[in-house]
Amino acid sequence: MTDTDLNSAIEGYREGLRVFSQGDAEPCASFFSRREDVTLANPLGPPRRGPAAVREAMLAAAANFAEGGSFGFDEVTTSFEEISRFATPDLGYVVQLEHTEGRPRGHEDPVVIELRATIVFRREDDGAWKVAHRHADPITTDRPLSTAVKE
pTM beyond 0.95: no
Residue 1, pLDDT score: 42
Residue 150, SS3? Answer: coil
Q: What is the mean pLDDT of residues 67-82?
A: 86
What value does the mean pLDDT of the chain take?
Answer: 92
| pLDDT tier, 28 (very low <50, low <70, confident <90, very high otherwise) | very high
Q: Residues of the chain with pLDDT > 70: what percent?
A: 97
- Whether the predicted pLDDT of 14 surpasses 90: yes
Q: Where are the alpha helices (DSSP H) in 21-133?
A: 26-29, 51-63
Q: Which fold has domain 3-141?
A: Nuclear Transport Factor 2; Chain: A, (3.10.450)
Torsion sign over Cα 70, 147, 83, 92 = negative
SS3 content of the chain, % helix, strand, coil (to 5): 25, 40, 35
Residue 145: pLDDT above 60? yes
Domain ranges (residues) in the chain: 3-141
The number of beta carbons lying within 10 Å of the beta carbon of residue 18 is 18
